[in-house]
Structures are given as structure tokens and as C-alpha cells.
Chains A and B, each alone.
Chain A
Amino acid sequence: MSATAEHHHGITTTDAESHHYAALGVEHLKLAFWIFLGSDCFFFGSLIGMYMSYRGKSLVGPYPLDVFDVNITSISTFILLMSSFTMVLAVLGAKTGRRGMCLTFLLVTAACGASFVGFQIYEFNHFFHEGLTLQGNLFGSSFYTLTGFHGTHVAIGVLWLLLQAVWYTQGWIRGDEGLMVEVTGLYWHFVDIVWIVIFTIIYLLEYT
């Protein structure tokens, strides 16, 4: 809308009357969402800090290498990372008005996210049967809490992507549709980036 960087310098009072006038030159929704993501970093940061400080402190097994199968987790990681690419294509479609492209890639992204969650459920189930429980040792407590917190983020993201696809086809969103898809994308990329960190410290560090 009018809240672009070009409009920022030549602001007039008439511009300021608009709901969309943004003094900083970033749309309200996007700016607020960036601040939310900054805040979410501290949620993940606290959990990652907890995981790191408890790493290797379990009194009893199973220990990480007793249960990990890094090949399977690498596949799900690859799928999640590739979904960032499809998300970019969805945003591109929304921004350039190619509705079919946007819708397709929203659904592809949601499918990637859902399969990541599926992999995680399989993994949790597998680990549980290997004897790793939430209560059994520190590793179990911290592993399930951290990856569960991230998995919840992905699941919410999948739900959001599907709703976004519905809004998009039903024409619920008035005004700047592209902005809404873009903010959805910000969330999705954030969840991806966080997973890179989590995957590294939980899985890859064990193999060094």
C-alpha cells in the first residue's frame, strides 16, 4: 500500500491520515511480526541454552547415540529446508499476482511441513520404544521438550499455510494479499532456520 519506502520521504498529512501510513517505511504487520520473531528467538534460545547445559549430564541411558538415526533425520531436515524454497515461490506468486502459482506452492509447502511433522512423530515413537522417555533421564526431558516445542511451531505453521490457502482462494483477505503471504513466509523461514540450529546441536554435535 502507501507504506513503501518511496512514500516515506515525501510524506504529507494526507498520507498520514491513511491507516497504512508507516513512519518507518515497513508495513505495520510485518514490523510487528519481526518483533514477534525476535521475541520467539528468546523462547528458543532459553530452550537451546537449557539443552546445551544439560548435554552429557544424564545419569542413566539411553544416550543420544543409542537412539539417533541421523540418516532419517537428515531426510526430514532436507524436506523442511526445501520447503523454504517453495515458500519463496508462493510469496513470489502472491506478489506478482500469479494466483495459481501462489496457491500451488502454499500447498506444497504445507505438505513438506506436514511430512516433517510426520517424520518427527515416527522418530518420537521409535525413540520411545528404544526406551527414551520424557521422564527417564535428562536427555529425554530436554530432547523431547526442545524438539517438541519446534515441532509445535511447524504444526502451527502447517495449519496457518492451509488457512492461508483457503483465505487466498476465498478472497477473504482484502487489500494487500501479498503482505499476508509474505508474513506467513517470514514465520516459515524462521521455523526452518531454528531447525538448522537445533539439528546441529542435537544431532550433528554427537557425531563430531
Chain B
Amino acid sequence: MATDVQVQTGTEVHHEEDNSLWSWITTVDHKRIGKLYLVSAFLFFLFGGIEALLVRAQLTVPNAGFLSAQTYNELFTMHATTMIFLGVMPLSAAFFNFLIPLQIGARDVVFPRLNAFSYWVFLFGAIFIQLPFVLNLVPGLFDAPVVPDGGWFGYANQTSAKFSVGLSIDFWMIGLQIIGLASLAASFNFITTILNLRAPGMSLFRVPVFTWMAMVVNFLLAMSLPMITIGLVLLMFDRNYGTNFYSPERGGDPLLWQHLFWLFGHPEVYILILPAMGIVSEVLPTVSKKPLFGAPFVIFSGILIGFIGFGVWSHHMFTVGLGPVADAAFSITTMIIAVPTAVKIFNWLATMWGGRIVFNTAALFSISFVGLFTIGGLSGVMHASPPVDLQHQDSYFVVAHFHYVLFGGAIFGLFSGIYFYWPKMFGVMLDERMGKASWLIMFIGMNLTFFPMHFLGAQGMPRRYYTYDPGLNWELWNLVATIGAFILALGVLITTIAMIRGLLGQGEKAPADPWDGATLEWSLPTPVPHFNFQTVPTVHSDRPFWDEKHEGGPPVSQGKINEDPHKHVEMPPPSFWPIIAAFCVGMTITGFMLGGGGGEFNGGNFLNQVIFQGVFAIALLVSLLMWIKEDPTPR
């Protein structure tokens, strides 16, 4: 594509890539950490997909006996938990890691070791929360269910020790606390990176839109995760030590959980979708060969969504009966938040308008994102009206709505990003024929799965029921949805195969700038050198590389790389303290598993917990001291 300019030709760096396992464990390189996030998140995404297929298989026909009610509860709980916390969020984090420093002209994130620490804490928590599936395979190990089965929302007081006996909820609540810590640490790192490591001349409105959306998302994470963490801590105290926070018989109020959960849960919705919106805002202008239409509006809309996102949580709770004033207020804010979202839709449409669109795989995913997300957005804003919401609450209509937003939206956007940025990340092109086939099959499968759910919901089919009786007129659309789900899975499988081939290095070698991009990351050679930028460029516009190539703007690309750039560029050395510290943090939080008393305080268990946690807290302190001693320079 970039026929006229090949600035990077002849700038191949001699790359003595160390690919040993040890080098990956100790890496502090944001590009490698991004790749680790991408691969692990995609594996969890596939795992969550299999759980969804099992759920759909059970619902194919009325009164199917494929799964027991208990297994069904476990699968829909873990499907949502896996997809949200272990699939979409870390897939977004993969792009944050890889792209933010490259887009703003930095050599790494501000705190590279903290970045590695975030990844390892995430991985620890992810494995921890999936561990019950493995434990479940050992017969007779536990007499009560051990796989989380309380729904991803874990409503109190169903999660109390009285109504959820066994360790299932404990794995869920402690796993989420560990994963939350990883996202919190990462958010401080990314926000500081974006604000402080921008290349000279890159004012805030010259920051690429993806990085802007990443900043909004990380502010949302920093402010919303504390609320669910406190909610989970209170739940943990209730289950472990017999406190009264969610027990109505002792004056507690289960609604407190709903407020704390949705105060996190609604910003979380934007945490899931804004990174995909950022990717689409990079892909559509590039494939349309036009600047993003009204880029400041897209950025301001993202900021506005972030702000209002904190003021709409009670629309998840209209059926609670908070009263007409609260319902009216949250109804209005929910309608308002649709406005900045719609602004973005029109910006993307106007970006494509009159452009000579290159219909590659990334473009197809991004364009269908706009359509599918709009459908999900429209069915969403319907629920801003409490009377409508009362009808649809807990029905398949809601399932249809958020899968259009999260699958048609977030996943399609992230898949677009995978096809778009893969060449820069891994140095080979993903197979375009496979990509287009994957897109077409996923597009058909996605609509076949989720569109009929609108009908099912409108006909009154409730969510989370493991089976249904014949004669309710639900047979046809359930069958169609299941067929659609397996078609969808085929589409995902094709992309998975394309990615595996890419990881094995098969396929066309990627040029440095395959799509004729506008921003700094495309000005770098592929593979990107360890230090990213030999000379940090000075930026004069919001599309610096485009200007250099097509508008005669000042050069930002690197030109000839010195024979030994390491002489000039000092990069942080690898470190194994992040993984050690992450392990100690994870184990310290895991210690709460020992303190359980089945809703009563149990002195012996508490003592075990304190000893276990004490050991790992001291180990954590030592590893943090070594961490500081390794590089004692405050930045």
C-alpha cells in the first residue's frame, strides 16, 4: 500500500532476539508484555467461548438433559466472568501495552517493572479463578460446589455463607480482588505514561485517539475498581468472619452490594467498549485514507462518556424500586449518555463518507462494529425508560442487547485491532483470505445467535434458567441461536488458526507500514527495536507520519539506525522481582481462603490465615525492597 514512501527501507536492525523462557519471565519490555497479554487473554477468550457453547447446547431444545442445573449455573457464571475480566479487559490491556508507548513516541511505559508486575498478578488471579474447574475433576475432594455459580454480578445475599455453602463464591470473590489489583496498578502506570512521556510537541490533542481512549479507560479503572473491591471485601468479611453487611436479618442491606457492584459495573461497560472504539477510530481513517472526522469531538465524547458513566448505575436497578425520583434521574442520565456515543457513530460514518475504503479484514471488522454496536446501543437506550426496563429485566432481550454491544462491539473492535496491529507486533501479516472468511462467518453467526434473542426476550424467556418447557413458542429461535453460536465459533476458530500460523512465523513478511498509517507507531521498523525510538521524534501535528509521507511535513521517522544503538539508548534491564512480588501479593490475598468460617468467626481458621498471610507479606516486603535496591532512582 505505502507505495510512494518506504522510509524504513534498509533500516533493518540486527536483532539478536533472546527467546528463552527466562527472558520472557523477566521481561520488562512493554511490547513483550503486550504480547503476553494478547496470547493469554485470547486463550481465556476461547475458554469462555467453549463455556458459552455448552450453555447454548443445553438450550437447543426444551427440557434438554445435557447439563444439570448446577453445572449450567457454573457455566453461565464463569462464561461472563471469564469473558469480561479475563478476555476483553486483558485483550484491551494487550493493545494498551503495545501501542501507548509507540503512539506517543516513548521508549517504554513510565514504570516498566510495575507493568510486568501487573501482568503477573493478572495471570495469577486468572489461573486462581479458573482453578475450581481443575479441582472439580478430582472426585470427592469437595462435598459442595466449588466452581463459582452465583452469576458474574454475585448478588447478595445469595452469595452469603448461608445460601452458598462451599468454596465456590470464595474462589470468585478472592480471584476478582487479585485481578482488580492488577488493573489498578496498570492504570496508574498507563495514565502517568500518557501524560508524561509524550514526545516533544505532542500536545494533548495531538495524542492519537486510541491512546486517548486508553487514558479514559484507565481513569475509569482507577476510580471504579475500588468500589467493587470494597464490595467484595465486605462480602468476604460476611462469609469469613460473620459480619452483618449483607444480612437483612441483622439489619444489613443486600442493596448495598447492588450499589457498590453497579457503581463499578457500569463504568466497567465503558472500560470494555472504549478501547474497541479507540481501535476503530484508528482503523477507519487509515482504511478510508482520510483523517478522523472531528477527532476532538471523538475525544471529548470519550471523556464525557467516562464522566457520565459514573452517574447511570441505578438503571441496572429499576426493578429494585428505588422510587420515582431516583428512577427518573437515572433514566435521564442514561438517555444523556447515549448522546456522546451517538456522536462517535456519526464521526465514524463521516470519516468513511467519500473515502476510498480499502476493504481489508481490519476494515470489515471495524465497519461492522459501527453497525452492530448501533443496534446494541439502540436496544440499550430503550432500557433508559423504567417501564420498558421492568418488562425486559432478566429476559433474553437484555442478553441480546449486551451481546450486540460486547460481541458486535468490543470483540469485533478488538478483532479489527488484532488484524490491524498484528503485522507491527509479530512481523508477519495475518492471512487476509482466512481473515475475511473469519469475519463473514463471525458476522453471520453473531447475528444468527443474538438477534433471535430479542424475540425470545420479548416473548418472555427469562435469563439464567437452565431449561424451558415445550409449547412456549421458544423452540425455533433457541434452535436458531444455538446453530448461530456454533457458526460463530467456526469463525473464531479460523482467526485462531490464522493467529497460530502468525505466531509460528508463517505468512507474508510484514512491511513497516502496511496500511499507510498516520501515527508514530507506523514510522518504526518492523520488528520494532527494543528501544522503540532511536531518537525521540518532535511532533508537529496529530498525524505526524502521514504529514511526513504525503504533505511534506517535517520527518519523524528514524532514518538509518546506528550500528550499535544500545550505546546511545539506555533501557531498563530485565528483572525477576515483578513476578516474585506478584506471586507474593497473589498468595497474600489467597490467604483469605483459609480464614473461612462458614459465616461465623472461627479462631483456628483465622490464625491459619494470619500465619499464611504473614509469611507471604514478609516475602512481599523483602521482594519490594530488593525491587527498590535493584534500581533505587525515583523518577
- Show the binding face of A for B, using Cβ within 8 Å: 3, 11-13, 15-17, 19-24, 26-29, 31-32, 35-36, 38-40, 42-43, 45-47, 50, 53-54, 57-59, 134-135, 137-138, 141-142, 145, 163, 167, 172-177, 179-180, 183
Contacts of A163 in B (CB 8 A): 625
Is the beta-carbon distance between B635 and A27 smaller than 8 angstroms? yes
Contacts of A135 in B (CB 8 A): 241-244, 600-601
Closest to A181 in B: B634
Q: B329 within 8 Å of A by Cβ?
A: no
Contacts of A22 in B (CB 8 A): 196-197
Q: B166 within 8 Å of A by Cβ?
A: no
Q: Which of B187, B188, B191, B227 has the largest count of A CB atoms less than 10 A from its CB?
A: B188
Closest to A33 in B: B188
Is the beta-carbon distance between B230 and A50 smaller than 8 angstroms? yes
Is the beta-carbon distance between A43 and B229 smaller than 8 angstroms? yes
Q: Mark B615-634, 1 if CB is under 8 A from A, else 0.
A: 00000000001001100111
State A19–B100 Cα separation when bound (angstroms).
17
**Contacting residue for A137 out of B111, B244, B263, CB 8 A:** B244
Closest approach, in angstroms, between the C-beta of A37 and any C-beta of chain B? Answer: 10
Is the beta-carbon distance between B251 and A138 smaller than 8 angstroms? yes
Q: B536 within 8 Å of A by Cβ?
A: yes
Closest approach, in angstroms, between the C-beta of A175 and any C-beta of chain B? Answer: 4
State A63–B224 Cα separation when bound (angstroms).
32
Size bracket, chain B contacts: 35 or more
Q: Which 4 A-B pairs have the closest CB atoms?
A: A42-B226, A46-B230, A141-B243, A43-B226
Q: A40-B226, A135-B243 are in contact. Are A173 and B634 (CB under 8 A)?
A: yes
Is the beta-carbon distance between A16 and B536 smaller than 8 angstroms? yes
Q: A23-B198, A28-B192, A39-B184 are in contact. Are A46 and B226 (CB under 8 A)?
A: yes
Is the beta-carbon distance between A31 and B196 smaller than 8 angstroms? yes
State A53–B223 Cα separation when bound (angstroms).
21
Is the beta-carbon distance between B200 and A32 smaller than 8 angstroms? no
State A142–B247 Cα separation when bound (angstroms).
13
User: Which residues of chain B from 526 to 553 have a CB within 8 Å of any chain A CB?
Assistant: 535-538
**Contacting residue for B230 out of A21, A31, A43, A179, CB 8 A:** A43
Q: Which of A21, A22, A23, A31 has the largest count of B CB atoms less than 10 A from its CB?
A: A23
Q: B234 within 8 Å of A by Cβ?
A: yes
Contacts of B296 in A (CB 8 A): none
Is the beta-carbon distance between B197 and A46 smaller than 8 angstroms? no
Is the beta-carbon distance between B634 and A11 smaller than 8 angstroms? no
User: Which residues of chain B from 206 to 230 have a CB within 8 Å of any chain A CB?
Assistant: 222-227, 229-230
Q: B256 within 8 Å of A by Cβ?
A: yes
Q: A31-B195, A35-B191, A42-B226 are in contact. Are A16 and B251 (CB under 8 A)?
A: no
State A133–B244 Cα separation when bound (angstroms).
11
Q: Which of A11, A28, A59, A174 has the largest count of B CB atoms less than 10 A from its CB?
A: A28
User: Which residues of chain B from 172 to 198 have a CB within 8 Å of any chain A CB?
Assistant: 184, 187-189, 191-192, 195-198
Contacts of B189 in A (CB 8 A): 32
Q: B202 within 8 Å of A by Cβ?
A: yes
Is the beta-carbon distance between A167 and B632 smaller than 8 angstroms? yes
Contacts of B198 in A (CB 8 A): 23
Is the beta-carbon distance between B230 and A134 smaller than 8 angstroms? no
Closest approach, in angstroms, between the C-beta of A43 and any C-beta of chain B? Answer: 4
Closest approach, in angstroms, between the C-beta of A142 and any C-beta of chain B? Answer: 8
Is the beta-carbon distance between B223 and A38 smaller than 8 angstroms? yes
Is the beta-carbon distance between B222 and A35 smaller than 8 angstroms? yes
Is the beta-carbon distance between A20 and B635 smaller than 8 angstroms? yes
Q: B276 within 8 Å of A by Cβ?
A: no
Contacts of B634 in A (CB 8 A): 27, 29, 173, 175-177, 179-180, 183
State A101–B230 Cα separation when bound (angstroms).
39
Is the beta-carbon distance between A175 and B241 smaller than 8 angstroms? no
Closest approach, in angstroms, between the C-beta of B409 and any C-beta of chain A? Answer: 26
Is the beta-carbon distance between B195 and A16 smaller than 8 angstroms? no
State A142–B252 Cα separation when bound (angstroms).
10
Is the beta-carbon distance between B110 and A32 smaller than 8 angstroms? yes
Closest approach, in angstroms, between the C-beta of A47 and any C-beta of chain B? Answer: 6
Q: A17-B536, A54-B251 are in contact. Are A39 and B192 (CB under 8 A)?
A: no
Is the beta-carbon distance between A23 and B197 smaller than 8 angstroms? yes
List 8 A–B pairs whose Cβ atoms lie within 8 Å, in order of A's numbering: A13-B200, A23-B196, A28-B192, A36-B222, A43-B230, A47-B230, A50-B234, A141-B237
Closest approach, in angstroms, between the C-beta of A62 and any C-beta of chain B? Answer: 14
Contacts of A27 in B (CB 8 A): 634-635
Contacts of A19 in B (CB 8 A): 570, 633, 635
